[in-house]
Structures are given as structure tokens and as C-alpha cells.
Structure 1
Amino acid sequence: GPTDSLVYHRKLSKSNFATKVSTAFRPDPAVFIEAESYNGYLDELEGVMGITISSYDELCDALKNRIDYFNENGCKLSDHGLEHIYAEDFNASEIKLIFKKKREGLNITPDETSKFKSALLLFLSETYHEFGWVQQFHLGALRNNNSRMHQLLGPDTGWDSIGDYPQAQQLSKFLNKLDSKNVLTKTIIYNLNPSDNEVMAAMIGNFNDGSIKGKIQFGSGWWFLDQKDGITQQLNALSNIGLISCFVGMLTDSRSFLSFPRHEYFRRILCNLFGNDIKNGELPNDMDWIGSLVKDISYNNAKAYFNF
């Protein structure tokens, strides 16, 4: 997140370690203005940067400064975990007032929360475009369902599940706000509810304008969907509605070293899918062509997309 010093990434970059290790920028704590911990987090960010964040403009300046710092240290991606995208209409003066209220310890309404998140997400996305980053949105988690266990163990300890939030309209509006100003950067969208597979596969086509191969991506099966059936369903939805040849493939979990075998697991599922289609006469029995497609989805597309 924005408060991270990246000390270990800096040490690795100066070492002889052969594997490239780069970070991602996850600013969720700066976006979730409704959280009780929000002001405490901004106080921490103030301490890291040696500045004061008492206005919305100062918050934006601070986050852009941290994006610049992350960029200097090899970062090429951002990541946001949201129930759904926020794309409410707002004006600058009301966002400044909402932030001021929060910093003064006053309560803000759900409507004010949505408008603030909409404004800050747009600002961040425009900044990612300026730096040439890839932005990622993980959408649809219903978090902290068991209040007793959350109080006992804290967040991210196993009490989250799949939400059923409406996704399409706000996502379309958000991407269009950026695209209409020509500041829509490369984007990967991950859904947690499998009923949104076709929604996401179709949505990316609205903003893939040919300027960059696979500019807007429908991300691989995530979390509860990161298993054989979930991965297969995502691949089928993408290939039925979009261009699977442009897909950047599987990713690992930054919090779990044990997730690295996912790449082989994914490739086996991908090859089974294509192999069965060939066997059924639904794809040409052309191993050179299909083989090059598998190589692209497994490696080449991601290397080109992320500029690794």
C-alpha cells in the first residue's frame, strides 16, 4: 500500500537475485473513507511522508507522490478490491467538503461515501494512465460476514464470501468516464461471482479500441473461482464472447508463496480445453497454431502487456 517503504524490493533490485520481483500499488485504505480506521491510516501516511493531509487536494497530491515513488521502484500495476465500481456524479467542492468532514471526525452518509470513492477512483485511474500502469479491479467480495470471528481474529482470516452486487452499469459508466477523456489505461477486471462471467466478457469489448492488444482484460478465475470448474468457465465465457488469443492468463496470490503452482494448473486446464475442442472437431488439428496460442496465453501476452 501507499505507506510501504518498499525497503525489501529496493534491496532485491540491488542484489544478484536473478528473479525479477516488482510490487503492486494497493491504495484501498485511502479509498475506504467509511472505515473507522480511515483517519488513523491517513495519519500513518502523513508520518511516512512527513506532510499534512488535511484537505482532499493534499490527499491527491500525497497519493500521486507515492505512485511516483512506487513507479521509480519498478511498480507497473495497481490493484483495487471493491464490492463494485463506484461511478457516481459529483462536483469538486462537495468532495472537498466530504473529506473535510471525515478528517474532523464527523459522520458521512452512504451517498457521500459513494461520491468520494467515485472521485478518488477516477483520480487514481487517471494517474495510472499518466504513468502507463495497468490497473486491476477485483470486484464482488462480501467481506467480514462473521462479526464474532472478525472481532476475535481480524480481517482476511476466512470469513469472506461471494457477493451478489450489481456490476455492469457502474463499471460501464466508470470506464466510459475515463475513455471519453482518453485517459483509460490498460485494465484487468476480475469478478468473484460466476454469474458475472458473461457480463465481464462482454463489457471489455466496449472499450477494446485496438490501440493496445487486449487493452481491457477479463481477468482469470479469482479466489473461490480459482479451481478447475471456475477457470474453465472463465475461459469459455471469454472465448465465446471475446478474443481468448489476447488473454494475459493466470496470476499468483501476493500473500501466498504456495500459489505459484497455479500457473501449471492453469496451463493444464487450458490445454485440456483446447485438446477436447480439437478432439471434437471444434478447433483445427493444427498443433503449431494452437501451440502458439497456448504460449501466448501462458506467457507471451503477459510479458508484452505488463512490459516485463
Structure 2
Amino acid sequence: MNIKDCHSVSVRNGYSCVPVALAEGLDIKLNAGVKKVEYSSSGVEVTVFNPVNPVITNTYHADVVLCTLPLGVLKLCATPSSGQLNSVQFSPPLPDWKTSAIQRLGFGNLNKVVLCFERIFWNPQANLFGHVGSTTASRGELFLFWNLYKAPVLLALVAGEAAAIMENVTDDVIVGRCIAVLRGIFGQSGVPQPKETIVTRWRADPWSRGSYSFVAVGSSGSDYDLLASPVIPPSPQGVSVTSGPARVFFAGEHTIRNYPATVHGAFLSGLREASRIADQIIGNPCHPQPAE
């Protein structure tokens, strides 16, 4: 198989294998939600809290910080709402050009329902099959069913208004609706009850606030470039002139214009920023300074 000819690739045993492999050997701080990012010409200070016990905080100092907060969380930072979990405070506040781009770009919601059955009752040769809702409002409801591994497992997708409604009802209601749709396709007696289910609610997840970015009305691809641009601390006088090197860098699927809303886009943006930070701190070995 030539990967260049593929539009998508499934990771065997799930995507969790990827971050686990990438994190090997790293000092990952668990139960450490970011509360505040303070930056100045001398460096950065990041304050974190324990989500289980928010009064427990810790502070880390560094030369720079790479912010990979999802766009949904950044939107909360740009228009802060008191009392919301994972509303990160930037001090000084992010510049207007950055927050405006954050607000213009859209952040969609795509939820999934995993249904595990005792047996396969659909065409075992089919990788997927679709369902068209009877109304415009329901067109995003369970519009696609994936069977990725030829196992008795279906993954149903819910988007748009239906995904928003789904966030506010119980798992039993959602699974019941899935079974009703499947029985409408395969017949009442052909679809058993699932033995295990998983339901996502990405908009309600305080660490995500949605799924991935899209170009909303009023935004453009240029906003991805603005989101990717690092932030230089303002001068001590508070005027528009900036001083010193950049201190806050940004990566994530919402910062890469050519590959938004993709895992490889997020990965490539991380490599991009690692290179940018290395160039700033240790210099660019590919472009040495001319000898005097």
C-alpha cells in the first residue's frame, strides 16, 4: 500500500498508541491543568492546578512555553467566563490580533457512539454504511456507521445540531436511538442489544470544548497562520512596541493552514514549533552567521 494514495489511515489498536510512543522517556505531569501563563521578556511562568483538588497548585519556570490548548479552550481564554474549568489566564492578555483570529475560526463538534455486539449483522465486507435523516435538523444524526476492524463493533458519527443535542441526553437515550436507526435498516429482529457502549461528548469536555477547527463565515485560511504565530511580550511601557524574543508559541490542528482538523496536521505543527523554538534558543545550524 502506498500511503500517498490514501486519504485516511486507521491506527491499529487505536490512536492512544501514538501519544504513548511519543511520550516515552518524557516527564509528563499528570493531574496538572494549566491555570495561568505569565510571560515577559525574561521568560515564562506557568501555574498549574490539580483538577481533583484545585487548591493544590504548582509553578514551573521556563524560557518559552508551547501552547497546544485546543481551539475550544482558547476561545474560552479569549472570552473568559468565571467558574469554568480549564479557563486559562494569559498575563499579559494575548494581543488583539491573536484573540480575534481565535474568535473568528470555528470549532466544530463531532461525537461518536461505539456499539459492541455479540455478532455481526451487517455486510461483513462493508467498511461503512450511511443513514439519511428524515428532516434537515436530523441530517447529522448517526449519518455514518464505521466498521473498522471487521469485528462486531460499529462506530456511529453524530455531527452538527444533532451532536449538540446529544450532549444533553443520557447514554441510554443515545444508544436507544442508535438501535432504532439500525433496526430501521436491518429489520426489528436482526439487531440485538449491544453488550457494551461508549458515548463521547466533546463539547462538554473541559479539556477540549469541541472536536476540531473549521473555516467559519467571516474567517479565512489566514487565521490559521495568525494562530500559528508566536507572541512576543509587550514592552514594559505598555506601548505597542514589542521587546525581546517570542515567549509563547502555538501548535495544534488549528494552527496549520494546509492540514487542519487532522492528526498529522497537529503532529506536523509540533515539529514546526520545535524547530522554531530551537532556532530561537540555539540558532539555526543550517544558516550560520557569517564570520566577521
Larger radius of gyration: 2
Q: Which has the higher contact order (CA 8 A, sep 6+)?
A: 2
Same fold (TM over 0.5): no
Give the TM-score normalised by structure 1: 0.27
Length-normalised TM-score, structure 2 = 0.28
Greater percentage in helix: 1
